[in-house]
Amino acid sequence: MDKQPSSRTCFVCGRQNPVGLKVSWYNDHASQRVRATVIIPEHFNGYPGIVHGGIIAALLDETAGRSLLLDGDDSNLMVTLRLEVKYRKPVPTGQPVTLQGWVIQRTSQRAKVAANLLLPDGTLAAEAEAILVRPPQEFFDRWEPEKPFWRIYDD
């Protein structure tokens, strides 16, 4: 599996974000999914020992969106218009969890994508579907200075 690029300051993947999660995604071409494993630190608790639901939503949102990068084309990035999350089981902090994302349907301007979060034993803990849209040109203009930092980083 080949690794996807990450950014500098993104809360979920940013390598230089001191309060971020620093997640790395990998393209699994055989299954047409992106995958990541992350250990969520305790300071992202909602209840003691349980990951806050907003953090889970952020992880699922990013994972679902990254499924558009399976072909390696960064110009496929889109932004979330709608995100629906279903929480199935509590997600523990301090343990490795697996994220998976995939494309359900895509056009050049819009995509329906999905993601899930699996506990260490493989149990489904949360899942999401999202509608993504192509952002306006201003988004890409603001992205231009960050492009040198959008790259594959060592773990």
Instruction: Quick: pLDDT tens for 33-65.
Output: 999 999 999 999 999 999 999 999 999 999 999
In the chain the domains, ranked by start, together with CATH numbers, are 2-139 (3.10.129.10)
pLDDT tops 90 at residue 75: no
Residue 100: count other Cβ atoms within 10 Å of its Cβ.
Answer: 21
Residue 155 confidence (pLDDT) above 80: no
Q: Which of 55, 54, 64 is nearest to 116 (CA)?
A: 64
CB atoms within 10 A of CB 50: 16
